[in-house]
Every structure is written in C-alpha cells, then in structure tokens.
Amino acid sequence: MKIVPLAEPGPAGDCGCEFLFSPNVGEPPLPLARIASSGELARVMLALKAVLADLDGVPLLVFDEVDANVGGEIGRIVGEKMAAIARSHQVLCVTHLPQVAARAANHLVVTKDQTGDRAVVAIAPIHENRRQRVGELARMLGDSKAKSALLHAEELLGK
C-alpha cells in the first residue's frame, strides 16, 4: 500500500491510499486499480477476506464469480479459502467452477429458461441429494453423462 497526497484536502484528510499489486514474479508492484483484471481483483478481495475474517463483523459475505479466469488447482484453493471463511461467516458464492461448488455446504442450481416471451429463472437446492449434486458437478466439468466427469465429481465431493 502506498500513501498518496490528494490535490485538495477533503473530509477524510489530505491523503489517500493506493493498493499496489504485482501479479507476476519479478514485476514491480503497480496500482491494483490500474493493472488487475476482474478475476485478480476478486481473488485479492478473497485473500483479504480470508486474512481478516476473524476481525470482520460482517455476518454475510457475497462473492460473485470469485473464481473468474481460474481453474484446476487454483480453483481448488479458492474453494478451500471460501470454506475456511464460511466457518465463521455466512458465505454466498456464485460460481461456475466445480472445484469451488463442491466445497459448499449448500448447493443451489440456478437455471434460466428463455423459450417464451420472458426469461424465467428457477433456483433449486441439490445439496441433500448426492446423485443430483454429482450430476451437476459433472455437468460443470463438461459432460453430466461421461463416466470420467461423474467419477471426478464424486472425487471432488469426497465422503
């Protein structure tokens, strides 16, 4: 973080702060707001929330596609961090990544039907039906009918 003087003093003083960020090893830290992608911004927020969760009095944290532009191992780590935060906070996460969805205590599927004159959105809980949940995770992996996707979904859910 860097303290930045303001052009004119305001109600909060004569200085502001600027978060610096280096997305890659060997690069100098630059202003986060200027260089970070939306996915990087979401993950920086997740990292801050993970570190500050014990000090945060906010009971509900909402993450909208915090896993944007990640996959595989990083997706698993994002899911683990979200699960850790959920031990002390209620967490609502919108995700398209099965590695994140599998770590949730509750799993809701959102579907949108646009066949008529309007879009109709439906939300269905599937966390109490392991077969449905495995099928949804397999769908998120790319093919709800493929044996390999179904096995991977089972593995993601664990016991």
Residue 96 has pLDDT above 70, yes or no: yes
Beta bridge partners of 109: 124
Please give the CATH number for the structural domain made up of 37-157: 3.40.50.300
The per-residue pLDDT for range 26-37, each reduced to its tens digit, is: 999 999 988 888
Answer whether 98's CB lies under 8 Å from 109's CB.
Answer: no
pTM over 0.85: no
Domain regions of the chain by residue span: 1-36, 37-157
The per-residue pLDDT for range 121-150, each reduced to its tens digit, is: 999 999 999 999 999 999 999 999 999 999
Residue 159 banded pLDDT, cuts 50, 70, 90: low
Beta bridge partners of 113: 120
Q: What are the tokens at 91? A: 């967490």
Res 150: pLDDT: 97
What 78-85 contacts at long range (C-beta under 8 Å, 24+ apart), as own/partner pairs, is: 78/43, 78/46, 79/103, 81/46, 81/47, 81/50, 82/46, 84/50, 84/53, 85/49, 85/50, 85/53, 85/61
What does the longest C-alpha to C-alpha distance in the chain come to? 63
Whether the CA torsion 19, 24, 28, 33 is positive or negative: it is negative
Res 98: pLDDT: 94
Residue 71 has pLDDT above 80, yes or no: no
The per-residue pLDDT for range 47-56, each reduced to its tens digit, is: 888 788 778 7
